[in-house]
Amino acid sequence: MTPLWVTGLPPAPSPRRPEPGWWEQYDVLMRNPREALNELQAHLAAQFDIPFSWVIAAPESSFAVPPEASATAWLVPEADRVVVAVDLKQPASLVAEMLLHLCAHLTLGHVRPGDARGHWDAPASLSPTPHRHWDREAGAYVDAHFARSVRRVSTLEECSPREKAWLVLFDHIGRMVGQQRTLHLTTEAYQAAAYQRQAAQRLVAQLDEYGGAMLCDGVGLGKTYVATTVAVHYANQWWDQLTDTKRSATDDPFRITVLSPNSVVSTWQREAIAPLAAYGVPLATIRVISHSKLSRIVPSSDILTRSRTAISDMEHLLLSDLVVADEAHNFRSIGARRTTVLRDLLRCPTSAPVGQIEGLHERRMAGSS
pLDDT of 277-303, one tens digit each?
899 888 888 889 888 787 777 666 777
Backbone angles phi, psi at 305, to 5 degrees: -85, 130
Asked whether the predicted pLDDT for residue 328 surpasses 90, the reply is no
On the question of pLDDT at 44 being above 50, the answer is yes
Question: SS3 of 221, please?
Answer: coil
Average pLDDT over residues 18-36: 89
Q: Which residue, 350, 322, 315, 179, is CA-closest to 238? A: 322
Predicted confidence at residue 6, as pLDDT, reads: 47
Alpha carbons 294 and 259: distance in angstroms, whole number: 9
The answer to whether residue 5 scores a pLDDT higher than 60 is no
Q: What mean pLDDT do residues 23-50 have?
A: 91
Mean per-residue pLDDT for 165-185? 75
Count other C-beta atoms under 10 Å from residue 30's C-beta: 17
- Tell me the pLDDT band of 367, cut-offs 50, 70 and 90: low
Query: From residue 202, how far is each of 111, 182, 208, 337 by CA, in Å?
Result: 55, 10, 10, 30
Give the residue with greater pLDDT, 46 vs 156.
46
Helix 133-145 crosses helix 92-107 at what angle (to 10 degrees)?
100
pLDDT band for 48, please (50, 70, 90 cuts).
Answer: very high
Whole-number pLDDT of residue 125:
93
Amino acid 366: pLDDT? 59
Whole-number average pLDDT of the chain? 80
Q: How far apart are CA 215 and CA 42, in angstroms?
A: 53
Provide φ and ψ at 365, rounded to 5°.
Answer: -125, 120
Which residues are paired to 215 by β-bridges? 368
Side-chain half-sphere CA neighbours of 102 within 13 A: 32
**Model confidence at 356, in pLDDT bands (50, 70, 90)?**
very low
Contact 368, 327 (CB under 8 A): yes
Q: Can you tell me the mean pLDDT for 202-230?
A: 85
- What is the tens place of the pLDDT at every residue in 87-105? 888 898 899 999 999 999 9
Order of strands across the sheet that contains 286-290:
212-215, 364-368, 322-325, 256-260, 286-290
- pLDDT score at 53: 93
Q: What is the pLDDT of residue 105?
A: 95
Residue 157 CA, distance from chain mean position: 25
Half-sphere exposure of 173 (CA within 13 A, CB side): 6
302-325 per-residue burial string, b: 16 or more CB within 10 A, e: under 16: ebeeeeeeeebbbbbbbbbbbbbb
Comparing 130-144, 178-192, 194-208, 262-276, the range with the smallest average pLDDT is 178-192
Phi, psi of 82 (to 5 degrees): -120, 130
Cα angle at 76 between 74 and 77, to 5 degrees?
155
pLDDT at 330: 76
Domains for the chain: give ranges and CATH numbers: 20-145 (no CATH), 164-368 (3.40.50.300)
Q: Residue 108 corresponds to which amino acid?
A: L
Question: Lowest-confidence range among 10-19, 263-272, 283-292?
Answer: 10-19
